[in-house]
Homo-oligomer: A and B are copies of this chain.
Amino acid sequence: MRISELSRVSGVSIATIKYYLRAGVLGPGRHTARNQAQYGDAHAHRLRLIRVLMDVGGLSLAAVSDVLDAIDDNRLPLHRLMGVAHHALGPHATAAPAPDVTEAQSDVGELIERLGWKVSARAPARGALAEALVALRRLGYGGGVEVLAPYAELAGELAGRELTTVATGAGRHEVVEHVVVGTVVFEAAFVALRRLAQEHHSAVRFAGG
C-alpha cells in the first residue's frame, strides 16, 4: 500500500509516519519509483505498536526506539528478554541518588532477596520502588519495607499467572512483543482497575461510616 493508505489503516498522520521513518523506528518501504514506496501489513502493525507504547505506556520516542531494538534483537536469549525490555521501558536513573534513596534501595534489595526473586541488580524497577518508599518516608508515613509485602504478594501471583499465558510455541518475535505489550497495557489496565475499585470501596466505607 502507499503511504496515504498506510496512514488511513493505522490512524497515524502521513507527517508522523515520515518522522518515524527518519527516526528509524519504522523500517523503510519497498521503493517502487522515485519518491514512491510500498508498505505492508507489518508496517501498519509496527505503527500501532509505536502508538500503544507512546499513548498507553507514556513512553518517549527514544524509549520506544530502545524497546523496538530489544524486540528486534534476535541474539537476546528469551530468559533475559524481560529484563532487557523492562530496562528499555525505564525509568532511567539520572543524577546520583540522595542518601535516603540509597538506603531505600538497599531495603528493596533485601525485600527481593527475602522473596527469592531472581532479578537483575540493574533492573529499573528497583529504583522506582526505592523512590516510592522514600516518598512515604519523607511525608512521615513510616515506610518500612514491610508495607510493600501485600503488594509484593499480589504482584507475584499476578506475574505468575501472566507468564503462563505466553505461549512458548509461538515465534520468538511474537513472544517478545506479547511480553512488552502485556507489560505496558495491563499495567495501565491494573492501575485503572485499582482506582475504580478504590472509588467503590471508599464510597461504601465512608457513606456508611
> Interface on A for B, CB 8 Å cutoff?
11, 45, 48-49, 51-52, 55-56, 58, 77-83, 86, 89, 98, 112, 117-120, 123-126, 128-129, 131-133, 135-136, 138-141, 148, 150-152, 154-163, 166, 168, 178-179, 181, 183, 185-207, 209
| A192 x B132 contact (CB < 8 A) | yes
| A195 x B183 contact (CB < 8 A) | yes
| B139 x A49 contact (CB < 8 A) | yes
State the CA gap A189–B104 with chains docked (Å).
13
A-side interface mostly: helix
Q: Which residues of B contact A194 (CB under 8 A)?
A: 155, 158-159, 187, 190
**Residue of A112, A119, A189 most packed against chain B (CB within 10 A):** A189
Q: Which residues of B contact A81 (CB under 8 A)?
A: 202, 206
